[in-house]
């Protein structure tokens, strides 16, 4: 019996993807990624804002612990301070409020740095305008009547208080005694500041609750412990009569 020419068995015929098909697949993958990235980014930003709020509450609990051992007083604010004390020619005499809190929170704790800020700087400030205009460097929890409205600390959102490339501050040191006497620290975008988070800037109130704001709300925030006043109104009003 005569056999025909040998033909190897190549199995099932496989057709490769065409260039057009590859382009379509790559395009679909890119589209899916573009749809997922905003959601991932938002989830990350929301998580950072929640972490920041938790850090502010920890600072608030530190304030309570400090007050319990210091006749009801909150930590005292003053000038420009650098940690550790005496480590810089820019360091003024005495301790900054963050250093005063050392028995309750370490000055090097990441609690003092908002996770959304791109550098390891102190990003929170202590409210001091009312104390300052009344000739004081500290105040007591008992001074406050509007407990759920009076700000005692917040994220600093004034560009001029951060060094380049994050702001315009000429002083190269990291201030561990941020306060807003004579210069506002809580500044919203419509006033020339910025939001620390897209969902808003976190604010710590006297009752130790934290809320985020995208703009100043005069019905929800006060810089006067006994009446609704803006930071500027407290500054312009001068010392209390009583």
57's CB contacts (< 8 A; 6+ apart) are: 204, 208, 209, 210
Location of structure tokens 């995208």: 214
Strands 124-126 and 210-213: unpaired
| Full residue range of the structural domain in which residue 205 is found | 48-237
Whether residue 191 is contained in a domain is answered as yes
Tens-binned pLDDT, residue by residue, of the chain (242 aa): 555 555 555 555 556 667 776 777 777 777 766 666 665 566 788 899 999 999 999 999 999 999 999 999 999 999 888 888 888 888 888 899 999 999 999 999 999 999 999 999 999 999 999 999 999 999 999 999 999 999 999 999 999 999 999 999 998 889 999 999 999 999 999 999 999 999 999 999 999 999 999 999 999 999 999 999 999 999 999 899 75
Inside any domain, residue 24: no
Give domain status of residue 131, yes or no. yes
Does the residue 209 lie in any domain?
Answer: yes
The answer to whether residue 30 sits within a structural domain is no
142 contact partners, CB below 8 Å, separation of at least 6 = 72
Nearest to 202 by CA among 59, 39, 79, 98: 59
Alpha-carbon distances, residue 195 vs 93, 155, 199, 214 (angstroms): 32, 9, 8, 7
pLDDT number for residue 84: 85
> For residue 204, what is the enclosing H or E element?
strand 201-205
Determine the Cα–Cα distance for residues 16 and 190; give it in Å rounded to an integer. Answer: 57
- For residue 16, tell me if it sits in a domain: no
Q: What's the structural domain count of the chain? A: 1
In this predicted structure, what is the pLDDT of residue 26?
A: 76
The pLDDT, as a whole number, for residue 28 is: 74
Residue 34 lies in a domain: no
For 94: left if phi > 0, alpha if psi spans -120 to 50, otherwise beta; the answer is left
13 within a domain of the structure (yes/no)? no
Percent composition of the chain: helix, strand, coil (DSSP 3-state, to 5): 30, 10, 60
């Amino acid at each position: 019996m005569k056999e025909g020419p040998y033909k190897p068995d190549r199995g099932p015929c496989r057709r490769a993807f065409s260039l057009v098909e590859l382009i379509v697949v790559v395009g679909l993958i890119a589209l899916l990624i573009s749809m997922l990235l905003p959601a991932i980014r938002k989830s990350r930003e929301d998580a950072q804002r929640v972490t920041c709020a938790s850090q502010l509450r920890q600072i608030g609990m530190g304030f309570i612990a400090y007050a319990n051992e210091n006749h009801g007083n909150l930590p005292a604010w003053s000038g420009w301070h650098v940690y550790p004390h005496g480590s810089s020619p820019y360091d003024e005499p005495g301790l900054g409020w963050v250093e005063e809190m050392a028995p309750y929170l370490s000055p090097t704790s990441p609690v003092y740095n908002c996770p959304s800020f791109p550098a390891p700087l102190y990003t929170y400030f202590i409210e001091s305008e009312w104390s300052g205009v009344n000739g004081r460097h500290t105040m007591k929890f008992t001074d406050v009547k509007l407990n759920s409205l009076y700000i005692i600390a917040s994220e600093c959102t004034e560009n001029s208080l951060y060094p380049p490339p994050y702001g315009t501050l000429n002083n190269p040191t990291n201030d561990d005694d941020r306060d807003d006497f004579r210069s506002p620290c809580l500044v919203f975008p419509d006033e020339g500041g910025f939001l620390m988070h897209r969902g808003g800037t976190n604010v710590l109130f006297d009752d130790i609750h934290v809320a985020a704001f995208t703009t100043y709300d005069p019905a929800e925030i006060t810089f006067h412990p006994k009446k609704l006043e803006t930071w500027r109104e407290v500054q312009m009003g001068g010392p209390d009569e009583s």
